Structure 1
Amino acid sequence: MSRSKSEMRRSVLDARAGLSPFVLAQHNAELAEWMYRLPVELDPGDVVAAYVATRAEPGGTAMLDALVDRDLRVLLPIVPEGEPTRLQWGEYQDESSLDRGRWGLLEPMGHRLDPDALHQAKLILVPAVAADLTGARLGRGAGYYDRTLVAVDAPVVAVVHDDELFDDGVPHEANDVPMDWVLTPGRGFCRVATPTG
């Protein structure tokens, strides 16, 4: 499979657009269940960084609520103004703590944390358009996550629908941060082999 990032992105997003609300809700419920079986040991009060799903992205607030139910502190990204740079963060309490931010994305209200707040995280869940078992992740193309993740040590998990996880072949470049795990609703957490070069 030798496709460009833009070709794969378009193909996957077109398929996502055809997902029924019922199927998406089912996927999100399954992903929420996986939050009780995370691939790393966490104690109450530990920090997990996650995201607010948009449109047909897998995840939803059910996934975030499951993390809060485990007494974990959940940080969510805030897109800063200006050119793409590292993401800022805010703390998630519940769905009522979210409001529309840049580009209409739901973001946490209240105190804004700088990008270095991510160093507190013991696990980082990130959205992806596609991912593969070599650790490659295809994002939306602006590079916010690659800029943000390059300096952190916590394990990073790309979250995709089952048919968006490939054995290999997801296009990537040298500055793309590799994933440690991929999470899908049906397969759960899949450990990846980081690509070499």
Structure 2
Amino acid sequence: MTSDKAALRTELLAARDSMSPFVLSQAIGDLAEWMYNLPVDVAAGDTVAAYVPTRREPGGTAMLDALVDRGLRVLLPIVPEGEPQRLQWGVYRGEQSLAEGRWNLLEPRGQRLDPDTLVQAALILVPAVAVDRRGVRLGRGAGYYDRTLTDMPGQIAVVVHDAEVVDGELPEDRYDVRGQWILTPSGGFVPVEAG
């Protein structure tokens, strides 16, 4: 495995792009099912942060709808204008409440919530290109999530496709924020290994 983040990201995204529509569809359904078996205790009215997948990222609005079905308040990221900074948040109110935002990403319409709103989340579902067994994430490279997740009290679950959990160690910078859980379609929530 290469230690260069950019080269590794390119390699992994090419493999993701080659995934069949059937495999992607199956992953969407499997991840939605795992929302009924979260690794943290939550009750109706509690907050979970998630994301709307793009470009073959794992997950889908079925995952978000499953969380809402449990009576949870679901926060979704909103990418602010300008240079990379902490993400803002909005409340998910169904697929019809989403609109294209920056870089054509689907974001919740309505009130933009401050980045510190994330402290209310018991669990934060974060997409990644890959994750190692220590919870080190390989993201898309802009650092929005690392800026946002620093010092957040909620548990972080890194969401990837099954083949994107790497056995070796991903390159890690001092500002990278690790996850405490890895979520894959077939494996569900698995705690990260110490190290």
Q: Are 1:49 and 2:57 counterparts?
A: no
Q: Deviations over 1:135-185 (max 9, x none)?
A: 110000000000000020111000000000022321111110011001000
Q: Name the % identity.
A: 62
Deviation of residue 3 (structure 1)?
2.4
CA distance in structure 1 between the aligned counterparts of 2:167 and 2:88, rounded to whole angstroms? 32
Query: Any idea what SS the aligned residue of 1:65 has?
Result: helix
> What's the counterpart of residue 168 of structure 2?
168
CA distance in structure 2 between the aligned counterparts of 1:69 and 1:168, rounded to whole angstroms? 37
Q: Deviations over 1:6-62 (max 9, x none)?
A: 111001100111112221111010000000000011000000000000020001111
Q: Is the 8 A contact 1:180 1:194 kept in 2?
A: no
Query: Any idea what SS the aligned residue of 1:125 has?
Result: strand
> What's the counterpart of residue 30 of structure 1?
30
CA distance in structure 2 between the aligned counterparts of 1:44 and 1:29, rounded to whole angstroms? 22
Q: Are 1:135 and 2:143 counterparts?
A: no
Superposition map of 1:146-161 within 5 A: 146-161=146-161
Normalised to the residue count of structure 2, the TM-score between the two structures is 0.98
Q: Is the 8 A contact 1:179 1:194 kept in 2?
A: no
Tell me, which stretches of 5 or more residues in structure 1 are unaligned? Answer: none
Q: Measured at CA, do residues 144 and 194 of structure 1 come closer, stay the same or move farther in structure 2, by a change above 3 Å?
A: farther
> What's the counterpart of residue 90 of structure 2?
90
CA distance in structure 2 between the aligned counterparts of 1:42 and 1:110, rounded to whole angstroms? 25
CA distance in structure 1 between the aligned counterparts of 2:89 and 2:100, rounded to whole angstroms? 14
Q: Are 1:19 and 2:7 counterparts?
A: no
Deviation of residue 194 (structure 1)?
4.4
Q: Deviations over 1:69-101 (max 9, x none)?
A: 100000000000000000000000110010000
Q: Is the 8 A contact 1:47 1:74 kept in 2?
A: yes
Tell me, which stretches of 5 or more residues in structure 2 are unaligned? Answer: none
CA distance in structure 1 between the aligned counterparts of 2:19 and 2:2, rounded to whole angstroms? 25
CA distance in structure 2 between the aligned counterparts of 1:46 and 1:168, rounded to whole angstroms? 35
CA distance in structure 2 between the aligned counterparts of 1:137 and 1:115, rounded to whole angstroms? 20
> What's the counterpart of residue 65 of structure 1?
65
Moved over 6 A (4+): none
CA distance in structure 1 between the aligned counterparts of 2:90 and 2:151, rounded to whole angstroms? 19
CA distance in structure 2 between the aligned counterparts of 1:111 and 1:174, rounded to whole angstroms? 33
> What's the counterpart of residue 183 of structure 1?
183
Q: Is the 8 A contact 1:130 1:139 kept in 2?
A: yes
Query: Any idea what SS the aligned residue of 2:90 has?
Result: strand
Paired residues in the alignment total 195
